[in-house]
Amino acid sequence: MASSAPEYLWLVQESSYGTQVTTKTVGTNQFLVPLHESNSFSMAEDPVFQEIPYGGGLDVVADVVADHREVKGSLTTLGYPALAAFLLNAAVTRVNAGQTSPWTTTEPPGDLASFYAWHLIRDRSGAWHTRAYSGVKVLSIEGSVSRQDPKLKLKLELQAQKELPNAVDSSTAPTAPAAPTEAQYPRGPYLFSHTGGNVLLGGSALTKYDSLSFKITNKVDPRWFESRWLSDLVCVGREATSDMSLLLKSSPDLRSTYQAVTSQGFSIEFDNGTNSLKVDFNGNAHINKLPYDLPLGKVFMQNATFRNKWDAAANAGAGADVTITTT
């Protein structure tokens, strides 16, 4: 039985930039994204306008042209194990030398792999509005959990190559995937308690925290060259931080670690007993900020920000900044 939802989003791995895989298997290379909030997914093509004045001393816009297009958007969803693994690998894992990881792609080694996004919306008349976005890459990803909101929430900023169909080249989108069935909707996102004992600093577990988040921002260089549409979206760097609100206590002595600018390993892992997701800053992270939080009538806390650096010893000596491990 197909889903009765009037909106749904499929993400499909691409075999090359802008080209989705031909054989699609739900949960392997095609992923349904539950849209649990208002405007959970938002993406659209925007012409990059160039305004031309009337001239001759009169500064009034008389003409406008748009020689290229920019397609950006955002996505908010929950951290369901298979979906979270796909999104974190898309955001973080660089294409390996054999171009087989995070999945098989022709994108160059060291870059990020791309995916296709299908967004389908049903209006009041019952008509479906179908939009496809090719060549999607992740600009940033943020994950957050807390005792107040224990479900792992993922927020992504995205950039795509092209919107299909569009009014410029009269292109059409390929046939959209079938509507999802009820059984294809994921259930059971990672929870705050799944991090217990699994947030490690210098190999030891941090305890007594009531919120945890991480943010990974890719530094990308979008290039259109002579095309109207994005030709290359290249990842040329990254920065990553993690914020925690911890009970103020003497052990571990985070203030001494902070003031000494001590670099050590830092990692976050979600483990529900069946699946796990590890965001590893590897062995060269440091505490970047450590303000006190001293509320009246409540226990004293400290808010720690961990910032990662390049770790030359990681990745079997090949070096890495952030790595993702999933089971």
13-25 confidence digits (pLDDT tens): 999 999 999 999 9
Instruction: Please state, for a pLDDT cut of 70, what percent of the chain lies above it.
Output: 99
Q: What phi and psi values does residue 59 have, to the nearest 5 degrees? A: -95, 75
User: What is residue 62's predicted lDDT score, i.e. its pLDDT?
Assistant: 96
> Which has more pLDDT, 267 or 3?
267
pLDDT tens per residue, range 61-112: 999 999 999 999 999 999 999 999 999 999 999 999 999 999 999 999 999 9
Say if residues 81 and 272 touch (Cβ distance below 8 Å): yes
310 pLDDT band (50/70/90 cuts)?
very high
Q: Is 85 left (phi over 0), alpha (psi -120 to 50) or beta?
A: alpha
- Output the six-digit token pair for 97: 């030398």
Average pLDDT for 145-161:
98
**Is residue 1 over pLDDT 80?**
no
List the one residue out of 230, 228, 231, 233 whose CA is nearest residue 66: 228
pLDDT digits (tens, 9 = 90+) for 108-152: 999 999 999 999 999 999 999 999 999 999 999 999 999 999 999
Give the pLDDT of residue 2. 64
State mean pLDDT over 201-220: 98
CB atoms within 10 A of CB 77: 24
- Pairwise CA distance, residues 273 & 288, whole Å: 32
The model's pTM:
0.95
pLDDT tier for residue 248 given thresholds of 50, 70 and 90: very high
Distances, alpha carbon 163 to alpha carbons 32, 153, 264, in Å: 19, 27, 43
pLDDT above 90 for 4 = no
Q: Is the pLDDT of residue 170 over 90?
A: no
Residue 30, token pair as written in the block? 């095609």
C-alpha to C-alpha distances, 176 to 31, 130, 132, 277, nearest whole angstrom: 13, 8, 8, 30
